[in-house]
């Protein structure tokens, strides 16, 4: 297992972590400058943040800072209630692949979607099996396109509390079943993003990490699970402040040969997004060294 205690060369910042400073939205160019200032070598930006500035501008800035992308957030949201909706989702996912290529990302992260309409507050139906089938079909179609572009797709299982509105793939086992069905040869074009916030509780975690193996372990996301958690989406903790044994899981992932970045992904309306960008990044660096 790699020693993270001496430096932060393997730290990546998911830019949602510093999306806000003192409660105010921070433009992505300022975030990239701050990461460079702190000697952080990798990021994972969100599509809306990139779009707000412009893809070409961000791409140029990424290059000039010499930043790598541990991933690009995100594609997915495949299920829809009609054919037009399914097609629109696929078209949008193809654009996400193109953007990920332009930014030279290590992978496009897929948050696959749940029941159509649920995220907006009104689910079109209650058939989660149908949603899961549409997810599998959608990834299958996107995989052809992504493979031609050379952009790996990383399915991110989300904690079951998000099954209705964000992702109906909720365990690593489920994600790997989809990988097995769509890419039985383990080509590296399709794999998983292991986000500790979503999978730490899973009794099969170690076994499924071993099942994934090097070819399918495409990303490793960290933060912590706070007790109590006060918001289902935006109360993620800083590594070391909660109950997740991150080093133990990192050892499992690295035992399979994963040697990529450890990406800090924290959504925290009440706490970290109220702090200054520099303070958040300084804390991420410290905790990367001591708690990851």
- Nearest Cα to 213, choosing from 174, 257, 156? 257
Stretch that binds Zn ion, among 43-51, 144-152, 168-176, 261-269 (CB under 5 A): 261-269
| Size of site (CB under 5 A) for Zn ion | 3
If the CB atoms of residues 202 and 265 are measured against Zn ion, the closer one turns out to be 265
Q: Which is nearer to Zn ion, 86 or 105 (CB)?
A: 105
| x-marked contacts with Zn ion along 68-97 as a string, rule CB under 5 A | ------------------------------
| DSSP element (H, E) containing 264 | strand 262-264
Tell the smallest beta-carbon distance from residue 214 to Zn ion (Å): 20
Q: What is the DSSP letter of 268?
A: B
Judged by CB under 5 A, which stretch of 40-48, 231-239, 245-253, 265-273 contacts Zn ion?
A: 265-273
Q: Which is nearer to Zn ion, 123 or 249 (CB)?
A: 249
If the CB atoms of residues 13 and 123 are measured against Zn ion, the closer one turns out to be 13
CA-nearest of 268, 269, 250, 270 to 260 is 250
Q: Which is nearer to Zn ion, 118 or 192 (CB)?
A: 192
224-243 binders of Zn ion (CB under 5 A): none
Minimum distance of Zn ion from residue 281's CB (angstroms): 18
CB 155, min distance to Zn ion, A = 11
Which DSSP helix (H) or strand (E) runs through 133?
helix 128-149
Smallest distance, Zn ion to C-beta of residue 262, A: 12
Question: Which position's Cβ is nearest Zn ion?
Answer: 195
- For the CB of residue 157, give the shortest distance to Zn ion in the complex, in Å: 10
Q: Which residue has the tokens 């999978």?
A: 199
User: CA–CA separation, 224 vs 245, rounded Å?
Assistant: 9
In the list 221, 236, 250, 288, the residue contacting Zn ion (rule: CB under 5 A) is 221
x/- contact string, 168-207, with Zn ion (CB under 5 A)?
---------------------------x------------
Residue 272: is it exposed, middle or buried by C-beta count within 10 angstroms (0-12/13-18/19+)?
Answer: buried
Cα torsion at 135, 141, 146, 149 (round to 10°)? Answer: -170
Distances (CA, A) of 223 to 161, 191, 203: 17, 21, 19
> Which value, in Å, is the radius of gyration of the alpha carbons in the chain?
18
Determine, following the binding rule CB under 5 A, whether residue 287 of this chain makes contact with Zn ion: no
Q: What are the residues binding Zn ion (CB under 5 A)?
A: 195, 221, 265
């Amino acid at each position: 297992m790699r020693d993270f205690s001496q430096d932060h060369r393997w730290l990546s910042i998911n830019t949602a972590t510093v999306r806000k400073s003192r409660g105010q939205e921070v433009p992505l160019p300022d975030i990239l400058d701050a990461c460079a200032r702190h000697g952080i070598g990798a990021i994972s930006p969100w599509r809306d943040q990139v779009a707000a500035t412009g893809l070409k501008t961000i791409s140029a800035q990424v290059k000039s800072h010499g930043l790598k992308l541990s991933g690009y957030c995100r594609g997915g949201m495949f299920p829809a209630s009609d054919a037009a909706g399914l097609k629109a989702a696929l078209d949008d996912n193809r654009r996400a692949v193109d953007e990920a290529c332009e930014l030279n990302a290590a992978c496009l992260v897929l948050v696959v979607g749940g029941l159509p309409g649920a995220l907006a507050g009104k689910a079109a139906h209650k058939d989660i099996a149908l949603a899961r089938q549409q997810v599998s079909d959608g990834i299958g179609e996107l995989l052809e396109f992504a493979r031609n572009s050379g952009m790996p797709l990383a399915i991110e299982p989300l904690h079951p509390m998000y099954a209705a509105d964000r992702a109906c793939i909720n365990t690593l086992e489920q994600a790997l079943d989809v990988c097995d069905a769509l890419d039985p040869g383990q080509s590296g074009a399709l794999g998983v993003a292991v986000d500790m916030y979503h999978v730490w509780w899973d009794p099969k975690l170690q076994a499924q990490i071993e099942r994934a193996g090097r070819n399918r372990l495409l990303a490793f996301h960290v933060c912590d699970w706070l007790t109590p958690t006060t918001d289902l989406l935006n109360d993620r903790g800083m590594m070391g402040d909660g109950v997740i044994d991150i080093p133990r899981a990192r050892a499992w992932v690295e035992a399979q040969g994963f040697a990529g970045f450890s990406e800090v992904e924290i959504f925290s309306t009440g706490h970290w997004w109220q702090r200054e960008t520099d303070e958040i990044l300084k804390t991420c660096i410290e905790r990367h060294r001591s708690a990851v």
